[in-house]
Amino acid sequence: MISARGFKRCALAALATPALLLADAAHGARLVLLPAGHAMHICRATVLTRDGQLVPTLSSWKWVSHVAAVFELGELPAGTGGDSPIFGALSVSCWLPDALWPGDPPRAPDGDEPTYSLTLARYDPAWYALDPISHQTSLELPRDGRVLFFTLERTTIEQRPIRIVRATLGADLFGSLGYEVYGPWMHRYFVPDPAGS
């Protein structure tokens, strides 16, 4: 379960976009990014298929600050169990704005502003999650009808300033229905992108 603070952030994001309130098979996979504490990021997400094609998404740069950022990951039909046969990899890229001013729209980074990314391929052990009721571990890939939650923390490491501190997969934007918890393999650091990328 997400914390009361995380619940409030998700609720605010969901109320702002009522159509996103519940996940079901009629909707594509979703990613929710939450900040730990008062961290601020501007992020976007992209998905590749198993054959390396970019999945069409509505993803653009979004604030991850006092409210959750909800990303549509596109259509990823569910397979057997927690599989999604066409899913190849999820990539999340972020940069660190100096400040958030009310009304400031999220923007892409300037050429001299460093960005940091994390890519999780389909065979990465990070995708194995623990069911809190059965205590069984299973492969849980992003797929239609599921919402992936990452809580992002700012670190004191200059070259790796962003880390996932909590990751879950649920059936709704509140993370309360049928959720699984990803293990320590998912607690990854974002790494610097090559200059000019």
pLDDT tens for each residue of 96-133? 987 766 568 888 888 889 999 999 999 999 999 887 78
Please tell me whether residue 185 adopts helix, strand or coil conformation.
helix
CA atoms within 13 A on the CB side of 88: 10
* Of the listed ranges 4-8, 51-55, 115-119, 137-141, the one predicted with least confidence: 4-8
> Whole-angstrom Cα distance, residue 161 to residue 39?
11
Token reading at 29: 């996979």
* Residue whose C-alpha is closest to residue 32's, from 19, 18, 43: 43
pLDDT for 81: 84
Q: Give mean pLDDT, residues 137-165.
A: 93
Token reading at 146: 């599921």
Distance in Å from the first CA to the final CA of the chain: 36
Share of the chain above pLDDT 90, in %: 51
Which residues on neighbouring strands pair with residue 137, listed in sequence order? 130
The larger pLDDT score, comparing residue 175 to residue 37, is at: 37
> Whole-angstrom Cα distance, residue 14 to residue 12?
5
> Whole-angstrom Cα distance, residue 162 to residue 165?
9
| pTM score, whole prediction | 0.82
